[in-house]
Structure 1
């Protein structure tokens, strides 16, 4: 029996985080009323959205738990290989240390995968289908308000008023509608990294299935996320103040990328047209304000250097529902949520911010120091394993 039998919950945003929260709440809070709002029309087909997202193992398990995991559309991540472009100090010390690199493997952590890579559409479409089926089965308890944007969320005594053409009262509103950094109103913690992410798909001539590559360069990180059929999702971060990619043709971009990644990757045979996105940090100091909670990109938008933005949002959703299932004191639940999520949120925010800023430092030896850190991490297996667990499951 739910600890919140009369709870009325509004979920604003039907992306991966919002829909996962709604489905989890519908199951874990069987007497609560849950309504999902989104400006997108319900009939709009989202399955073809090609944006590439990386899911940690913990996120995969959560999608499995809510019955919306599409294993056939996922490429498992079996290994993560992180390296740095020369020159770096470990590689220059007579070559005996070799080029600095870190390899994290699922087999070493005794897990079936470190995570998975999927398109945005392949994640959201099953979530939306599962939600629509649940709402159809329980129309009096589970509601859908698609096609009309929420224009206001107003605090009320012991609740909130959500206005999406018609004002409705709820005990709690969860905003999971974040958008990208360039479109967001600046939050309490904000920093423009003056970096641009060029995003698309690459075809590898000799891909190792299930291996994700990240390469630290002087401009910023570049990553290849494994997809089906020898393809990989590309995220290529460069200095936006003097963008070396913008004026290049697709053929020239492919030629440059073939000089960027570790030799193990092999040649990139083809490259899709690339889209660019400005990068920055934009985070709320608190997840809660009265009876409104912000999760996912609505709470924190991170640099993609660690690929943890979506995973952090899904953990926000899971912990909120778990807290709601254990107590009927809603204000105490929200206080506990801040305490529970704080270490995981701020550790991830600090780590990604530090790495992102490190690419802008003009300090002599910054790259060498990063290379030494990577070499040490590879050598210290317990530390590397702890990092792997943090990336898979967050702080528990």
Structure 2
């Protein structure tokens, strides 16, 4: 029987392509997406960009996906981490770790357009789009999904990859817990006087972190997290006023900030589920955990969900077992538990540490950054986590 995937975002499509590749299309996959994928990704307007760790790129390469995405990706060759208003910084260079890059940045909409082409050509995958799931019935031996057009799909395993507001989680009664950060993220694409040359910047402020990521054609992608009131004010600024305020916060490492594209604003929250498995159900990606964008680990964590699920399915296929039985689900959960818990703790901790104005913590983080930058062993640990090599 089939594996049913709910959600045609980047994680859901990656999982479908990975299953198709690993089984050469022998494992049937039904992928359901509520929106019209062709319309959703047809616009040429630049949108959000995401950072891929080197380990994520390696995983995508193993599934024969990376070769299609690499032409639109920009290498991160150096990372500069700083704390606004305080001395000390951390600099990581790819050459220090004998790699060509510390990761890559891709524009999400462009990546999804390419993945959609791969999806339509991949063997063993049926796409139901645009279709919403209206009912889910989980029996002892299979799961039955009824779509909004009354079409019925049956499989042995349902994978929820339908994002933060997971419809599958709601229908199946999966409890979701969230912390609403008192912040918003303002996102934009800008051009700069100096070439970025593969430099990525993370600048912490007491109002929230500011990330500047290198993207194609010399542009940089801005993710500026601020308090709700400041973010909304920033969003409403004229282009010139926005660039002036961004220059004050970021500095002059890329010279004069020259032009900006259309800005978008997003709420920020940490959301987790009570359990990422249930009877014949697995939740992955943002449906399982939604993170603050600091350090850019959300997508990478979702891809590690995919990799762990593929590792689980390989054992199931080899031993001809039931893909959705409790032992298979528990094995997957065990693979993911520590990594998810650790990544959430680190990202949440970064927000708390760098948002505080308490004198002792401010002194501690300033000294800490200086110590890390001058201690190769400590800097190596951070680099390995950034690369995705550090095993949680």
Q: Which moved more, 1:43-52 or 1:298-307?
A: 43-52
Any unmatched runs of 5+ in structure 1?
Answer: 1-6, 89-98, 136-140
Look up the SS of the partner of 2:39 in the other structure.
coil
How far off its partner does 1:19 sit?
0.8
Q: Which moved more, 1:215-224 or 1:257-266?
A: 257-266
Report what 1:13 is aligned to: 7
1:159–1:169 CA contact under 8 A, matched in 2: yes
Report what 2:146 is aligned to: 163
C-alpha distance in 2 between matches for 1:180 and 1:10: 18
Aligned length: 372
Q: Does 1:313 align with 2:299?
A: no
Residue of 84, 88, 92 corresponding to 1:100: 88
1:205–1:230 CA contact under 8 A, matched in 2: no
Report what 1:224 is aligned to: 212
C-alpha distance in 2 between matches for 1:117 and 1:196: 21
- Could you state the TM-score of these two structures normalised by the residue count of structure 1? 0.88
What's the Cα RMSD here?
2.2
2:22–2:63 CA contact under 8 A, matched in 1: no
How far off its partner does 1:267 sit?
2.0
Note the 1:1-396 alignment, pairs <5 A. 7-30=1-24, 31-44=26-39, 46=41, 48=44, 50-69=47-66, 70-86=69-85, 88=86, 99-135=87-123, 141-164=124-147, 165=149, 166-179=151-164, 188-241=176-229, 243=231, 244-327=233-316, 328-330=321-323, 331-393=326-388, 395-396=390-391
2:186–2:235 CA contact under 8 A, matched in 1: no
Look up the SS of the partner of 1:151 in the other structure.
strand
Look up the SS of the partner of 1:147 in the other structure.
coil
C-alpha distance in 2 between matches for 1:39 and 1:193: 28
Q: Describe the shift of the 1:125–1:248 C-alpha distance in structure 2 as closer, same or farther (beyond 3 A).
A: closer
Q: Which moved more, 1:283-292 or 1:303-312?
A: 283-292
Look up the SS of the partner of 2:36 in the other structure.
coil
C-alpha distance in 2 between matches for 1:325 and 1:306: 31
Any unmatched runs of 5+ in structure 2?
Answer: none
Q: Describe the shift of the 1:395–1:341 C-alpha distance in structure 2 as closer, same or farther (beyond 3 A).
A: farther
Structure number with the higher helix fraction is 2
1:83–1:100 CA contact under 8 A, matched in 2: yes
Q: Describe the shift of the 1:192–1:354 C-alpha distance in structure 2 as closer, same or farther (beyond 3 A).
A: same
